[in-house]
Each structure stands twice: as structure tokens, then as C-alpha cells.
Copies of this chain bind each other. A is one copy, B any other.
Amino acid sequence: MQKKVISEAVVKRLPKYYRAVKNLSDQGINKISSNALAEMLGITASQVRQDFCNFGGFGQQGYGYDVAKLKQELATIMGLDHDYNVVIVGAGNIGRALGGYQGFEKYGFKVRAMFDSNPVIDNVGGIKVYNMSQFESYVKDNTVDMAVIATPKAAAQSVADRIIGSGIKSIWNFAPIDLEVPDYVSIENISMSESLLVLSYRTKNNV
């Protein structure tokens, strides 16, 4: 299959489409037009059609989009068509909160284990907390698709290196640092401090 490069702007809208379509599906609505969907997201109908067209288009002229089909197509595009095994590195404040994060389960991400360089508790809501020294052997013995970095900034790069070294190719990073990772590793950052400063800017400038 010839792969079209999808722009970052489009990729960032995919979860929004998915959320809206899921809502429609939950409400028992089974048909939606680009116009109505656009209104839900506060964007233009043109953009909706243009975006979906990137993936081949899943609509029917004169009818609109079938909600069930659209939902399933979006899920497949984003890789929600199967489960993932996840480990969390760092069992501090954020790591523990993530251990209980409902979003993981909701989208098929199974948190299998947590790691900490100095574990002070042995499980978080039923998830076992291992010493970081056991990280490589755990990954060797278990299938791990994704790792979450919830360590302090100082540890993050070396943790990332160990994650990558163990063969994991997907990292969700909560540490406030731009990690260096090879091209074949997918990474996504949650940058709380950047978000807070953006809010601070808006607050000061009434935006």
C-alpha cells in the first residue's frame, strides 16, 4: 500500500473526531454529515471531508458518513483495533496517578507493571511495582508494547535509553525534557509545564 504522509495537524484532529463519533454512536445516532460533525468540533465541513479524504474517504455521496463505519475506520487508523501492553516507569505522584488512569483501559492499553528506582510501595491499585533493576528482565520475559516515563527530569533520558535498549518502540513521556530517541521509536510528550505557561500567557493577555 502506497503510504500518504499525513500532516501533524490532521493527526492531532483524529482523536477529536473519534471522541465525537463515539459520542454519536453512544447516543444511537447512526448517520452524520460532514457539516454536522464539523459543527460538533467547531471546524469547517471542508476540513472534515479533506481530513477523511486523506485516508481514502469513508462517506457516501448524497448520504453522509455511517457512524459505526466511521468509528471503526478511525479506530483502525489510530491503532485501537487491538490491545497494547504498557509499563510505567516512575512510581511517584504522576506514575501512581497514571496507574489509575481510566483512559488506558478505555482504549485497550493494559498497564501490566510499574517500575521505580526506589519502590516504597509494592503495588498501585493492583499493579505490581518492580525495582528498576528488574526492568530489562521483565521486558525480556513479557510482551511490552509501550512504556510511560513518569520519572523526574534528571532520570528521563537514561530511562528512555533503557526502554529503547530493551526493544520497546513507543514512549509516552511525562518528564519535562525533549528526549533523544532514534527514528524508529514513536514518542509523544505530555508537557504540563508548557501547558501551564501557555495558560499563564493567556491569562495575562486576556486570550
Contact = CB atoms under 8 A, between A and B. Distances in A.
A140 interface: no
A27 B194 CA distance: 21
Given A93-B96, A96-B97, A190-B190, A169 B203 contact: yes
A121 interface: no
Contacts of A195: 172, 188-190
Contact count band on A: 35 or more
B184 A196 contact: no
A101 B11 contact: no
Contacts of A45: none
Contacts of A193: 15, 19, 103, 106-107
Contact of A79 (B146, B187, B189, B201): B201
A12 to B, nearest CB: 6
A192 to B, nearest CB: 6
A119 interface: no
Interface string A51-86: 000000000000000000000000001111000100
A186 interface: yes
A201 B84 contact: no
Nearest to A145: B203
Interface string A83-111: 01000000011101101110110110100
A77 B15 contact: no
26 contacts: A3-B205, A6-B205, A12-B198, A15-B191, A15-B193, A19-B176, A77-B204, A79-B201, A79-B204, A79-B205, A84-B200, A92-B100, A93-B100, A94-B101, A96-B97, A97-B97, A103-B196, A104-B196, A170-B199, A171-B199, A172-B199, A186-B199, A186-B207, A188-B196, A188-B198, A190-B192
